[in-house]
A and B are shown apart, each in its own frame.
Chain A
Amino acid sequence: MMLTEEQQQRYKRNIMLDDMGKHGQEILLQSSVLVIGAGGLGSPVILYLAAAGVGHIGICDFDKVDISNLQRQIIHTTADIGREKTISAQESVKLLNPDVEVILHQEKINAENIQTTIKDYDFIIDATDNFASKFLINDACVSMQKPYSHGGINGFNGQVTTVIPKSPCYRCIYGDDFAEEVKEINGVLGAVAAVIGSIQATEAIKYLLDAGGLLSGRLLIYNALKMEFKELRIRHDDDCSVCSDIK
């Protein structure tokens, strides 16, 4: 593909990047990323991927916009209250960058639909708000050898890591999940979601461009109250129930 004159203007500051250039921009425009969860993390992820010109963005969510979402879910507006998050997010993307094709997945992911949902995408973003989904995404991505970014936030805290084929996975960190959780509603600062979501979007773009080093084999922990970042090394767990057979 060739960039149009308008695209060369729109993406001028991307193209100026040594690790992107026109070729990298063309790659982004032909790439696809699935964002699972259009909430606190998903908002900045989707907006930054769209602004950067990732050409095909899947948005997966089953929920509707609630007024209590708006202190952090910046892709939605007051006028969107009561509307499907997928549609609200799609409209924001279209306003920001009409180059982007948005693919809507109006569903809650589960063991039955996860594989068909993720299979056509180049990179997956876990922007979900519960552990069951986080483990489900990890297991499906590892078994289908799909690269993905895990993100989690709570209060003033965030964690993020990138899982690619052959790297340690989420279960190498936390082991196997247990009994179904009762979903807790906790406080969370919107700006914390932005930091973690922005890192997730950066990882997706770097993966697509094959630029720099990814956050794989490392868990980045963000404590906004202390304003500290901590980076931990992650190793394969030889007994990992998901990746030990694959690596």
Chain B
Amino acid sequence: MKITVNGEEKQFDSGFTIADIIAELQLENRRYAVEVNLEIIPKSEHNQHALCDGDRVEIIHAVGGG
């Protein structure tokens, strides 16, 4: 299945979850959220949330300045 991650189209096996995508990105010690099709998916759901063909996934980084 084709999934767009941060604007780049990529090929994944079906059943791939948000957690699987996160594992491939280096996000340790980053404050981030994952958006799928303009909805932020709660972190407690990342392990179960299977992605679908055509999904658009974006990593959103928290912004801490003021």
Q: Residues of A at under 8 Å CB distance from B?
A: 37, 39-42, 126-131, 134, 151-154, 157-159, 172-175, 177-179, 181, 186, 188, 193, 219, 221, 230-240
Residues of B whose CB lies within 8 Å of any CB of A are: 29, 31-33, 35, 38-45, 60, 62-66
Please determine whether B64 and A232 come into contact, CB atoms closer than 8 angstroms: no
User: Which residues on the B side are within 8 Å of A129 (C-beta)?
Assistant: 64-66
A106 CB → nearest B CB, Å: 18
In the complex, are the beta carbons of A239 and B44 less than 8 A apart? yes
Whether the Cβ atoms of A232 and B35 lie closer than 8 Å is yes
Contact B43 A175 (CB under 8 A): yes
Whether the pair A233, B63 counts as a contact (CB closer than 8 A) is no
Of the residues B33, B39, B44, B66, contact of A238 by C-beta under 8 Å: B44
Q: Which 6 A-B pairs have the closest CB atoms?
A: A237-B42, A152-B63, A239-B44, A129-B66, A233-B39, A175-B43
Known: A230-B38, A239-B42. A174 touches B65 (CB 8 A): no
**Are the CB atoms of B31 and A174 closer together than 8 Å?**
yes
Question: Residues of A contacting B62 with CB < 8 Å?
Answer: 131, 152, 159, 173-174
Contact between A174 and B33 (Cβ–Cβ < 8 Å)?
yes
For the complex formed, measure the closest distance between the CB of A3 and the CB atoms of chain B, giving whole angstroms: 34
16 A–B pairs (Cβ distance < 8 Å), ordered by A: A42-B66, A126-B66, A129-B66, A131-B64, A153-B65, A153-B66, A154-B65, A159-B62, A172-B42, A174-B33, A174-B62, A232-B40, A233-B39, A236-B42, A237-B45, A238-B44
From B41, B44, B64, contact of A154 by CB (8 A): B64
Whether the pair B38, A232 counts as a contact (CB closer than 8 A) is yes
Contact between B42 and A232, CB atoms less than 8 A apart: no
Q: Is the CB of A152 within 8 A of B33?
A: no
Which residues of A are found within 8 Å of B63, using beta-carbon distances? 152-154, 157-159
Question: Nearest chain-A residue to B39 (Cβ)?
Answer: A233
Name the B residues within 8 Å of A234 (CB-CB): 40
Q: Do B39 and A232 touch across chains, with their CB atoms under 8 A apart?
A: yes
Give the distance to chain B from A70, nearest Cβ to Cβ, in Å: 16
Report whether B42 and A238 are in contact in the complex, using a CB–CB cutoff of 8 Å: yes
CB of A107 to closest CB in B, whole Å: 16
CA distance A201 to B62 in the complex (A): 21
Q: Which residues of A contact B64 (CB under 8 A)?
A: 129-131, 134, 152, 154, 181
Task: Please name the residue on chain A nearest to B66 by beta carbon.
Answer: A129
Once bound together, how far apart are the Cα atoms of A121 and B66, in whole Å?
A: 21
Are A233 and B42 interface neighbours, CB within 8 A?
no
* Residues of chain A contacted by B60 (CB below 8 angstroms): 173, 219, 221, 232
Pair B66/A39 contact, Cβ less than 8 Å:
yes
Q: Complex: how many Å from CA A196 to CA B47?
A: 33
Whether A235 contacts B38 in the complex (CB less than 8 A), given A151-B66, A177-B31, comes out as no
Q: Are A127 and B40 in contact (CB under 8 A)?
A: no
Chain B contacts for A219, CB-based, 8 A: 33, 40, 60
Q: How far is the CA of A114 from the CA of B33 in the complex (A)?
A: 26
